[in-house]
Each structure stands twice: as structure tokens, then as C-alpha cells.
Structure 1
Amino acid sequence: MDMDLLLISPPYWDFYSPFLALPSLSGFLRSKGFAVRQLDLNIVHFNRMIDKQGDAILKELQNDHVYDGLDTAYKNVFKANDAKEFTRKSAFIQPGQLSGQFLKKNFYQFTLDEINFLDGIFHYIYFNQLYKKNYWDKLAEFELDSIMEEVSSELLTDTLLGNECMTLIQQGLRLIGFSSTSFDQFIVSCIYARMIKRIHPEVKIIFGGSYIPVLVKTVRPDKQKKIFDLCDYIVNGEGETALELIIQYTSKGQGELADIPNLCFMDSSGQVVHNAAKFENFQQLPEPDFNDLDFELYLMPEIMLPYQSSRGCFWGHCTFCDHDANYRYNFRSKTAETVVENLAALKKKYNNQHIQFVDEAIKPEKLKEIVAEMEARELNSLDWMYYSRISGEYTDDLVQRARALGCRLVLFGVETFNLRLIKMIRKGISEKNISKNLSMFSKFGIKNIIWMICGFPSQREEEIWYDIDKLKENSPNLKGVFAGLYRLERNCDMYSAPGKFNIIDSDPDNPYIFKSHYNGELIDQNQIFSLYKQEYAPLVSELSRSHNRYIIYFRQEEQDEPLERGLSK
């Protein structure tokens, strides 16, 4: 067997576009001469789940009792108040048609409401059953075995057994890495690792991904030992160099575990060892390699590749952010020349029309450099979207030039318009610049999506009403508002120093539940939840063309009504 490593992206994650972690690692390791295979079991499982359960769940939702119990967010997406209206609106889906390909092939024929309806159905089928599992109250004590039993299902295990992973092991594969971006993915990684170890104990398992630093920080050391019943190594941080050295150690006996950066392992005495951290020279990393991925499986109507021009966050001060501190405070960026070289290479290799920059945020200054380099190289054959921060540095000239070079969509983290809260969460923006940026981008034909958070610690009802009014005021310049209730995550500054943020108490089993005050007056969380459900969330739904950034990106206003109804199956 010539393969050095199999990288797996497990369920449950985005099903519109590939996630960047595996292609980035594959690109690096292949540049070093290693034989690497990447396998996106997330998209495989999504398509299997829709194919096998879609029709039954769609019919189930047409039942009054089931539909009445739906979360309001789903009802807002379906634009149906009851099961009868839902049934009428689902009439365009014939029995046996419901599939990812049904949406993909008819993306420009469906009305916008039909696309959003299908998107809501897919999210409900794929994620809602997972979230109904009763494992959240087991997180505080990290009851891993119990949580795995809650999440496991025959369909989930069949996704692993029915794929090439087991065949590759039989052919001699001895090293597998799982990349997790969320707790859900981590649990599925544990389930899959346990299955593999029971059948093939000789296989070495690596756990990595952006969720791992959060896990290591928030789970007690004695509880962390449970993880090593399922895996051999944990990569706590960036994985390029760590995986290179793990391959050399396991396949060639070269080096020592203690010398592998970002590695966690259990030593001969049964103690968990955490090696020193290392941050990659990001400028020198090659472009991602998507060779193993079948773009047809994803729901995007045209090929859109994720790309990262920087790692970390150039701002890094937000008190609600739960990213690992090492990631937040070690910002590195590729030069504009390298970025454009990478984009051109990807375009030549994959013939993609679209790029999604997945940086935490791109500085206006860096955007200006990238735009200038694209102009110099006449790279005007790509359309793209990116994430940014509200800033007074944006100018009409820069935004207009970005649009001319293909920028279709920008996503801003606004969180709140209220100055007191902006200061408390250390966002570093102003209300004036929020409105200015939204107006500027909209003027030149770039769509705006903003993120908002409701229910911050100490946030009063009148401050929520202020945000509601400001959303209405800025609505002409918005295509989407992505909002949710505040979650007090264990890895954020607010959780680490609750007193500084007027937090009195919190529930370790539920990040939504905490007690806070404003000037000594206790905030009534039930009133906050009620205001969010009755006023805030419905407004957000009303202001948004879709709750999905890909739909907002790809659909133009003139496409809201289809030109023809010759739908593909």
C-alpha cells in the first residue's frame, strides 16, 4: 500500500461547498511528496440521508402535530403557519424527487421561495434529528460514551462502512486523520474511530481540526484521557508540520513524538502530553488541492472554491469570540502577489468561476492590495465573496474596483448597533461606519450580509429595540441578516471573566442560560427570549432574501421568478 494518510471530513457540516481544511492539508503534504487521500464523508452522508429519508420526513412535516411543534425559525423559512399551508407550498416536489441534485439542477428555474423552502427542508432533515438528541446535558461532564450512543445511527455507520475507507485499510492503509470543525463532527469522528479500531486495531487514528483547541481547553485533563481510547494522536493547532512528522514517525520510525509540534499524546505512564505550539509560515504554504473531491455532490449550482488569504484574526479582541487564543492572536497573511497567483492556479486547474474567501476578515488595506494585483494581472474572470469588518477605511474607489473585478457579496460581523454594547464586546466599530459601509457596497452592486447577536449579557430590552429600529433603517442596503441568541461559550473572554461583563451565573449544560445585570438590575432572560422570538427573529426573516449565503450570492433579483418550468429530476 503506497498511501501515507487518509484524511476524513465527517458529518455534520456544510453541504453546499467543500470545507477548506482537508484540501489545505492535502496540498501541503503532497508538495512534500506524501501520498494522501481526502474523503468528504459529510457530503456523502448528506446525500444518502436525503435520498433515504427525505420523502418520509417531508410527508411527516405535513402532519399537524409534527408541524405545530416545529421551531419558529423553520416556519419562517417555509413561510407556512400550519401544516396545510406547508403541504400546499411543497406541492412542487413530487414523490421521489427530493434530493440535493433536484435543487442543484433547477437552481435557476425555481423561484427564490422554492429554493429557500428546499434549503430549509435539507437543513431540517440533516441537522434537526441530530439536535433533538439528548446529549447537551452530558457535555459538562464529557460523558463521551453516552454521547456517542445518542448520536450514532445505522445510517451514519453505513456511511463509513459503505465507502472506500475500509477498502483502503484492507489494502494496507495504517494512518487516518479526522478533521472536526464542530462538536458534532468531533463526536462522529469518535464514532468512526471506534468502529475502525474495533475492526482494525493496527490503524493509527489522528484527531485534528479547529474544534480541537476548544476541546482541549474546556475539557478537564482526566476527561481528555477518554479520547485516547479512540485515537492515538491529537493535533491541537495547525496541522501541516504535525502531520508531516507523524507520517515520518509512524511509517519510517523517524523522529520522536515529543518533538512534533502541536501534538497531544498519551505517554507510557498514562499521562497526556501537550507539545509546544507551532504556527506555520503561512506565506510559504501552497494553494489547496481539491483533486479527490467530487464537486457534483455539493449543492452549489456552479463550482465555488474556498480560499484563505490569511490565518487568525487581524482584530482579535471580540469578547464573545470562542476561537482558540493562539489562533486569534497569531495573525498571518499571504502577500497579494501570492494570493492572486494561487487564485490563478486554482482557476487553471479546476476551471472554477467562483471563489469564497474564508478568512476571518480581510482588511480594507489588504483588499486594496489584492484588487491592485488582480488588475495588474488582468485576473477578471472570477466572481467572489469575502468576509470583512466594518471600517472607516473603505472608499468608493476601492469598492467600485472590487465590484469590477467580480466581488458579488461581502459579509460583515456587526453584532449590534448599540454603542455601549459595541464597547463591551470590544468590537472596535462605530454605528456611523456600519451604515456608511452598507450604503457604499450596495451603491456599487455588492450584496451585504450582516451577522447580529441578540441577548448579550446585560443587554436591556430597549437596546434590543434599538437594534430592531436600526435594522429597519438599513434594510434597503441588506440582502441578508444572520442572527441568533447569544451563547456564552466556554472558550470566550466573557466566560473566563464573567464579572467584567455583568454575568452573575451561568449554566454549564446550556450556553444560552446565564444571569446578568445592568447597573445592579437583573436582566429577565425570559423577556429577552420572548422579544427575540416575537419581534427580532421575524424581522430578520423578513429582511433576508435567504438564510443561506450561497443562495444570496448566486441568485440575482431578476431571477426571483423563473423563466420556464421545465424542471430536471
Structure 2
Amino acid sequence: MKVLLLFPPSWHPSQPYLSLPSLTAFLRQNGVPNVVQRDINIELLDILLTEKTCLAFYQKILDKLKQIERSAPSRHATSSDQERRQALIHAVEALPFLAKKVERAKQTLRSEGFYELERYIESVNTINDVLEVLSALYYPSSMTALNNDMRYSVYSSQEIFQALGDEEENIFLNLYKDHILASVLELSPTIVGISITSTSQIIPGLTLARLIKDQNKDAHITIGGSVFTKLIENVKKIDGLFSIVDSFIVFEGEHALLELVAQVHGKQDFKKVPNLIYRDNAVTRINEPFYTEDLNKLPTPDFDGLPLRLYHAPASVLPVQTSRGCYYGKCAFCNLHLDHRNFRLRRPELLLEDIHKLSQKYNTPYFFFTDESVPVNQLRDISQGLLEKKQDIQWMGGVRFEHALNHDVLRKMHESGCQKLVFGLESYNQRVLDLMKKGTKADRVKKILDECLKIGISFHLYIIIGFPTETEQEAMETLGFVLNKEYLDSPGFSCLPSLFGMEKDSPITCSPSEYGLRSIMAPGNEDLGLGYFYEVEQGMSPEEAGRMYHYVISQLSEKLCPFPYNYSMSDGLLYIAHRKHALQP
């Protein structure tokens, strides 16, 4: 019995994601020793970002260009043909130069050169330029280090199925065949688990599943992750998905995967597997009630087997989790409550043990708390424990603007190694905050951020543009607040806006009139849709909100350095910690 766990593209390349190490640790703890975990996202990036691969692509792009010229001379070409041709010509012109730079750029991000801002920016831009020109082979599809984009909608099963067999435009189909598939099949896995946690992973993840299934029909392929957890009812109605995979594990996966291993190895009685969606006699079954893990019985995550040296960072930043779910769970725009059935904490002493073990085993002091929002009491206890144990770590995590987050708590957090906090500000207008049901007061927001500045904790602010009824003036109020000169001048300050989108099963969809909405509409032909169109009675229309969003982006881009601080991920943590270390006498 061999279990193979895969994390597909596209995801941020600076640190591993927590899902596979958590599942790997649990399976190994419970007597399943033969578990292999692979981050296909970072493996594939490492292969693409080499001079050898670039030159191989160069020849393929040159051949493609000659083929187009022979079959459709430019004078007869459609506008689409002309655009494709221009993309290929640009790639042919740019690729030889970029190929000579790409390995140096990748190495810079893995070395001390990462901390030299100009070299960092140049390296990130080089990598994205390389990926853009390589993508010309699959025009109009494109990819960056963080994302991929195809003309196929990831919200339509029909378009997904078309993408899976499209060798012309599916970037990942031939990449997997050339570089990944053989090594996967060599392992002869009994179970293949693929984690799909963002929409950018849907087509890459299902492409990989289909390729494996075509070559090894006996392998049981199961899909986990938050995307399909939000699509339980949709999955039930789309039989075609089960021609690609055998099952889906929704919500949490530890006990579900363990029992799946037992049933695949034994009686194949899949109704015993918690949280499983599967086909039985041509009927889709959903195993309820859904199982919720006891966080205090889970082992320390196990990163063995992941290629930590391949990530685009000079040191490993490891994710850990102090809780699951959101303890607040009332924000009108949010559907993250669907990812977990309820809120639970891991006991601080267990978390401290996790940090100590991981720090020692993987030789790193850097940790990222992946919680939706860490409760203040948990922060206080963790900080106290880190200080008492004299654990020299540097960490960051997400928090809410709570009254309990006072000077004493923040000071203790900073002393324990907290370098940066991630806040969901969303708006600085009190009316909008109240309508969002954020449960925060604008004056309290200002006080907490001022305390962070005094103490030396950097912060990242998420804001939302275009929440229903928000006016242009109210959006400008939020923009004015985040462009505070004190914040802009503080080391590590970052801000990332998002355009409001009405997400499936968020509270706002249950009572649209309460939020000034005339109507909400599910997009046509989206049987895997995760959101809605809407019409407003007042405030900015969706089109006006879009224009305001682009204006906010332009203003932030002018005032804020986009790299590396404008990430809520590990890049910012490493920069801040390095800068503070350099300033020490």
C-alpha cells in the first residue's frame, strides 16, 4: 500500500502549503509508513526555470511559428492568429536573453541576494518574464510564478473537460507528460491524493488526475481541499467528474484519508469513510455527518520529502496552525466558515512543541501561523510560552482588531518573535464596517496600528473595494487611511486591495436586500460556480467599483514598494527579520 499526496500548480513559491505535511504526519503516526508527498508546483517551476528548458521551448516556439507561417500566411490571418503570431515572435526574440538570466534569478531568491531589494525585484520580474514567454507556446494561456490563466472557465465542468484534453492550450498537459508523469507512475501508488485549495489549481490538478488515471486505472484518485468542499452539492450533479477521479474528501482529511486507505486495501466499503463523496452503483453518495478533527490529537506536521531547498526563499518558512475555523465567523462577505465545520484550538503547549520540533528538525527559526485569525488569548499564551522556553523564533500570523489586542499583549508578542501581523481591515469607514458586520471600530483600528508602530511590529492590511452600498467617497476614505505617511514610512508595511465579489454561501447571499442589492444572479453555464453577479440599489455599481479598484491599485503601486513587503506571505517576514538583525549592534 503506497499513498502519494500531490500539491499541483499554481501557488506561491516561497513556502510549502500545510495540507500535505499535516496528512502525511497523521498517516505515518497511524501505521501507514509508505506515504510520499510531492509539491508539483515547486518541482515544475524548478524545471521550467532553467536554461536547458528555456532553450528547448525556444526550439518548439520557433517550430510553431514556422508551422503557422506555412499554414496561414500573415496576409490571410485572423486577428486571433495575428495575436498568437506576435506572442510567438516576442518569445523568439526574448527567450535567448532571458534563458541566460533565469538560473541566476532563481538562485538569487534562494540566497542572501534575496535581501538586496534591487536584485530581488529584478529576479522576480525575470522569472515572470520567462514564464510569460514560455506560455506563448500555449497562447492565449499564460502563467506566472503565482498563477495561470486559460480561456477555459474553471467554474464550468464542460469547459474544464475540454481543457483537460487540449494539447494546444493546456499549459500543464505536455509539461506533466514530459517532466512529472513518469516519476509519479514509477511509484505505483495505490492511492493518489491531490490537494486543490484554490481555483488556480483546478485545471492543473484535474489534468494531473486524468493523466495518472489513464495510465494506472487501479490507482484510487481522491481530491481534497477547500475548493470542492464549497462545491459539495455541485459535485453530486456532475457525473463526469468521476471519470477523472474516484472520490472527493471534503472538509478535513486526516481520518477520512486514513479510513480510505483501509477500505481501498480491504473491503472497499466506502460508506465507512467519513467526509467522502463517491459513486456507488451509478449514484453519487455523500458520507455525512461530516467528521471534525480533534486538533489536540493530531501530530506535528511532517515536511519530510518536500524539496524545501527549491522554494524561492533563502530560508525555510514553515506553516503551523494554532486553530481551525474562524472564531468570529460573522463577516457578511466571507464564506471561509465552509472550510471547517466549527472553530477549535490546539493547546498552546502542543503548538510550542510543534514549533520546537520543526525548528530543530528543519533548521529554521521562521514560522507562519496559517489560522484565519488567531484569538488574542491564544496569542498571549503562545507568546508567553515562547518567552519562557527561550525559543528564538521569528513569526507572523493573521489577527483581528480586537479590544483585547492591547499594548501589553502586542509587546509580549513582539518579544516572543512576532515580526508582522496580517489584518483584514476591509474598510476604514464605520458605516461600511458595520454593514460588513466586521465587529470592529475605526478608532480601535487606528489605536492598534499605532501601538504596532511604537512596538516595532510590521503589518499587512487587506482592504475590499466595492462592498454593496459603498460610495466612491467611502472607498477614498479607506485609501486615504492606508496611505498614512507613518504607515508608508514604516518597515514592512504592506496593503493589498481586492475587488468585492459575492461568494457562494456568504451571509450576504441569504439576505441581499439588507445590503442594498436589487438582485443576485448565478452566472449561466457555471455548474461549478463559486459566486454571483449582482445589481445594487445604491452606492457604486460593480462597474464603478471595478474602476475604483484599479485606481486604488495604481495609488498603492505608486506609494508602496510592491516587493517584497506587499505580500502577506513569507517574503515580508524574512525581509523584516533580516533587516532587524542587520540593524542590531
TM-score bracket, normalised by the shorter chain, equals: 0.7 to 0.9
* Structure 2: segments with no counterpart, 5+ residues: 62-82, 84-89, 133-140, 524-528
After TM superposition, give the deviation of residue 21 of structure 1 in Å: 0.2
Task: Sort the Cα spacing of 1:134 and 1:164 in 2 relative to 1 into closer, same or farther, 3 A.
Answer: closer
Partner residue of 2:567? 548
Residues 410 and 449 in structure 1, CA contact (< 8 A), matched pair in contact too:
yes
1:287 equivalent to 2:300? Answer: yes
Which is further off, 259-268 or 530-539? 530-539
Residues 388 and 412 in structure 1, CA contact (< 8 A), matched pair in contact too:
yes
1:239 equivalent to 2:228? Answer: no
1:221 equivalent to 2:236? Answer: yes
Q: Give the whole-Å Cα distance in 1 for the aligned partners of 2:362 and 2:437.
A: 40
Residues 176 and 203 in structure 1, CA contact (< 8 A), matched pair in contact too:
yes
Partner residue of 2:398? 387
RMSD over aligned CA atoms reads 3.2
Partner residue of 2:37? 38
Task: Sort the Cα spacing of 1:352 and 1:165 in 2 relative to 1 into closer, same or farther, 3 A.
Answer: farther
- Match of 1:231, SS? coil
Task: Sort the Cα spacing of 1:27 and 1:132 in 2 relative to 1 into closer, same or farther, 3 A.
Answer: closer
Partner residue of 1:23? 21
Partner residue of 1:567? none
Pick from 185, 188, 191 the counterpart of residue 175 of structure 1. 191
Q: Give the whole-Å Cα distance in 1 for the aligned partners of 2:365 and 2:172.
A: 33
Task: Sort the Cα spacing of 1:387 and 1:168 in 2 relative to 1 into closer, same or farther, 3 A.
Answer: same
After TM superposition, give the deviation of residue 122 of structure 1 in Å: 3.8
After TM superposition, give the deviation of residue 47 of structure 1 in Å: 2.1
Pick from 440, 452, 477 the counterpart of residue 451 of structure 2. 440
Query: Aligned partner of 1:251: which letter?
Result: H
Q: Give the whole-Å Cα distance in 2 for the aligned partners of 1:408 and 1:262.
A: 37
Task: Sort the Cα spacing of 1:537 and 1:415 in 2 relative to 1 into closer, same or farther, 3 A.
Answer: farther
Partner residue of 1:397? 408
Partner residue of 2:8? 10
1:261 equivalent to 2:266? Answer: no
Q: Give the whole-Å Cα distance in 2 for the aligned partners of 1:363 and 1:356.
A: 15
Q: Give the whole-Å Cα distance in 1 for the aligned partners of 2:435 and 2:106.
A: 42
Q: Give the whole-Å Cα distance in 2 for the aligned partners of 1:471 and 1:54.
A: 44
Task: Sort the Cα spacing of 1:458 and 1:277 in 2 relative to 1 into closer, same or farther, 3 A.
Answer: same
After TM superposition, give the deviation of residue 193 of structure 1 in Å: 1.3
- Match of 1:459, SS? coil
1:323 equivalent to 2:336? Answer: yes
Q: Give the whole-Å Cα distance in 1 for the aligned partners of 2:578 and 2:56.
A: 31
Residues 150 and 170 in structure 2, CA contact (< 8 A), matched pair in contact too:
no
TM (norm. structure 1) is 0.83
* Structure 1: segments with no counterpart, 5+ residues: 61-68, 70-82, 564-569
Q: Give the whole-Å Cα distance in 2 for the aligned partners of 1:95 and 1:48.
A: 15
After TM superposition, give the deviation of residue 383 of structure 1 in Å: 0.9
- How many residue pairs end up in the alignment? 521
Deviations 1:150-207 (A, max 9, x none): 6986762355445676446445422111011012212222111111111111111011
Pick from 421, 443, 459 the counterpart of residue 470 of structure 2. 459
Query: Aligned partner of 1:351: which letter?
Result: N
Pick from 353, 364, 371 the counterpart of residue 376 of structure 2. 364
Residues 150 and 169 in structure 2, CA contact (< 8 A), matched pair in contact too:
no
Residues 46 and 126 in structure 1, CA contact (< 8 A), matched pair in contact too:
no
TM (norm. structure 2) is 0.81
Q: Give the whole-Å Cα distance in 2 for the aligned partners of 1:490 and 1:164.
A: 34
- Match of 1:555, SS? helix
Residues 516 and 537 in structure 2, CA contact (< 8 A), matched pair in contact too:
yes
After TM superposition, give the deviation of residue 319 of structure 1 in Å: 1.4
Task: Sort the Cα spacing of 1:124 and 1:358 in 2 relative to 1 into closer, same or farther, 3 A.
Answer: farther
Residues 213 and 324 in structure 1, CA contact (< 8 A), matched pair in contact too:
no
Task: Sort the Cα spacing of 1:98 and 1:108 in 2 relative to 1 into closer, same or farther, 3 A.
Answer: closer
Task: Sort the Cα spacing of 1:413 and 1:204 in 2 relative to 1 into closer, same or farther, 3 A.
Answer: same
Task: Sort the Cα spacing of 1:24 and 1:460 in 2 relative to 1 into closer, same or farther, 3 A.
Answer: same
Which is further off, 193-202 or 477-486? 477-486
Which is further off, 186-195 or 289-298? 186-195
Task: Sort the Cα spacing of 1:524 and 1:312 in 2 relative to 1 into closer, same or farther, 3 A.
Answer: closer
Residues 164 and 170 in structure 2, CA contact (< 8 A), matched pair in contact too:
no
Q: Give the whole-Å Cα distance in 2 for the aligned partners of 1:452 and 1:173.
A: 43
Query: Aligned partner of 1:339: which letter?
Result: L
Residues 192 and 222 in structure 2, CA contact (< 8 A), matched pair in contact too:
yes
Task: Sort the Cα spacing of 1:141 and 1:5 in 2 relative to 1 into closer, same or farther, 3 A.
Answer: closer
Residues 102 and 126 in structure 2, CA contact (< 8 A), matched pair in contact too:
no
Task: Sort the Cα spacing of 1:28 and 1:512 in 2 relative to 1 into closer, same or farther, 3 A.
Answer: same
Q: Which has the higher contact order (CA 8 A, sep 6+)?
A: 1
1:530 equivalent to 2:550? Answer: no
Identity of matched residues, %: 23
Task: Sort the Cα spacing of 1:507 and 1:297 in 2 relative to 1 into closer, same or farther, 3 A.
Answer: farther
1:155-166 map, 5 Å: 156-161=172-177, 166=182
Task: Sort the Cα spacing of 1:375 and 1:97 in 2 relative to 1 into closer, same or farther, 3 A.
Answer: closer
1:487-502 map, 5 Å: 487-502=501-516
Q: Give the whole-Å Cα distance in 2 for the aligned partners of 1:422 and 1:193.
A: 42
